[in-house]
Amino acid sequence: MKKIIIPIDFSEHSEYALKTAAKLAKKHKAELLVLHMLEMSDIMLSASDGLQNQKAAFFLQLAEQKFNKFLDKDYLSDVKITPLIKHFKVFSEVNNIALKQDADLIVMGSHGTNGLAEFFVGSNTERVVRNANIPVLVVKNNVSDVNFDVIAFACDFSEETIKPYLNAVKMFDNVGAKVYMVHVNLPNEKFMSSLEIEKKVVNFFAKAEGSLGKLEDVQYVSDYTVEDGILNCANKIGADLIVMPTHGRKGLAHFFEGSIGEDVANHSTLPVMTFKI
């Protein structure tokens, strides 16, 4: 991990993300690209009128002053930081910056309180998650430890989740983390028998790993919701991080096929990382 992008809006939750990213940067000797999206109207950015140009320059100067103050933190003293101010209107364009900068991870703060619909959907965090081609780490509070020794990877063992699984394993194997696969069986039309689940898991690992050596790392959970199953299992195994695949623009809801598993990130006290399918 060489470059980490942190989009900030100067809020308390932006600082949670910045602190977490700083810890990761120190651990991996990475550079922090701290990004502020300065939202100006097309009219102001393109106007030839002298007054409009003066207004744009004034707002840019204010943003730079606020940015410099926000980055004046003791916990950033030993971290390489590159501040970026971009004149974009939407956070969905963070992915373009990540690709241009060849970044490895995006870290964002969020304040969701009533489910992932409020945690992601319609928020800047949601826009970043849905458009990002690289992993996105979402935090809601101060993360005391970024070692992430135990990972709970929420998975339905479909073939389309093989790619995010392999990307996650590659990232966490480098730091010696233990990745548990969590499958939640629900008492509804999605219910599967033990034999059906096992066949699906065997097919998944045969194609993903070429072996069945990681069958012992699968956690089978029966619960009323995907959310409850993942959170209860994460607590049981002592997870430090929950990892979830996402369908990009289709969002996390598609992965959970209409369940209320979208509440996972909101109700979890753990950080949540998404990998694009």
Same domain, 160 and 98: no
Beta-bridge mates of residue 33: 5, 82
Interval 116-147: pLDDT, tens: 334 343 467 777 887 789 999 988 888 888 98
Domain stop point among 116, 139, 162: 139
Q: Is residue 158 over pLDDT 70?
A: yes
Beta-bridge mates of residue 8: 36
Please give the residue that has the higher pLDDT: either 265 or 62. 62
Same domain, 135 and 213: no
Domain stop point among 99, 118, 139: 139
Q: Which residue, chain included where needed, has tokens 């089978």?
A: 220
Query: Quick one: pLDDT at residue 247?
Result: 73
What's the average model confidence in pLDDT over 83-96? 75
Query: Quick one: pLDDT at residue 120?
Result: 41
Beta-bridge mates of residue 108: 138
CA distance 241 to 46: 44
Q: Which residue, chain included where needed, has tokens 């909101």?
A: 266
Lowest mean pLDDT among 59-73, 75-89, 214-228: 59-73
Query: Quick one: pLDDT at residue 26?
Result: 94
Q: Is residue 228 over pLDDT 80?
A: yes
CA distance 164 to 216: 20
Domain stop point among 139, 173, 190: 139
Same domain, 154 and 257: yes
Query: Quick one: pLDDT at residue 168?
Result: 93
Instruction: Give the distance, in angstroms, between the CA of residue 143 and the centroid of all CA atoms in the same chain.
Output: 14
Please give the residue that has the higher pLDDT: either 51 or 130. 130
113, 266 contact by CB (below 8 A) = yes
Task: Compute the CA torsion angle 117, 132, 87, 5 (nearest 10 deg).
Answer: 100
- Write down the pTM of the prediction: 0.84
Q: Which residue, chain included where needed, has tokens 């999206």?
A: 37
Interstrand relation of 31-37 and 3-8 (parallel, antiparallel or unpaired)? parallel
Query: Quick one: pLDDT at residue 263?
Result: 52
Specify if 144 maps to a domain. no
Please give the residue that has the higher pLDDT: either 66 or 152. 152
What's the average model confidence in pLDDT over 39-65? 60
Range of the domain at 9: 3-139
Please give the residue that has the higher pLDDT: either 66 or 31. 31
Q: Is residue 152 over pLDDT 50?
A: yes
Same domain, 16 and 122: yes
Q: Which residue, chain included where needed, has tokens 């101060």?
A: 142
Q: Is residue 253 over pLDDT 50?
A: no
pLDDT bucket at 111, cuts 50 / 70 / 90: low
What's the average model confidence in pLDDT over 243-251? 71
What's the average model confidence in pLDDT over 59-65? 71
Can you give the CATH number for the domain in which 40 is found?
A: 3.40.50.620
Segments of 136-207 assigned E as strands: 136-139, 150-154, 178-185
Query: Quick one: pLDDT at residue 117?
Result: 38
Same domain, 127 and 157: no
Interval 8-36: pLDDT, tens: 888 888 899 999 999 999 999 999 999 88
Specify if 254 maps to a domain. yes
248 burial via Cβ count (<10 Å: 0-12, 13-18, 19+) = middle
Same domain, 32 and 129: yes
Task: Compute the CA torsion angle 204, 243, 145, 218 (nearest 10 deg).
Answer: -30
Same domain, 134 and 11: yes
Same domain, 23 and 130: yes
Specify if 145 maps to a domain. no
Same domain, 171 and 235: yes
Please tell me the total count of domains within the chain.
2
Specify if 172 maps to a domain. yes
Same domain, 36 and 131: yes
What mean pLDDT, rounded, does the chain reach? 81
Lowest mean pLDDT among 20-34, 44-58, 100-114, 183-197: 44-58
Specify if 117 maps to a domain. yes
Q: Is residue 267 over pLDDT 80?
A: no
Please give the residue that has the higher pLDDT: either 41 or 30. 30
Same domain, 18 and 98: yes
Specify if 62 maps to a domain. yes
Same domain, 93 and 187: no
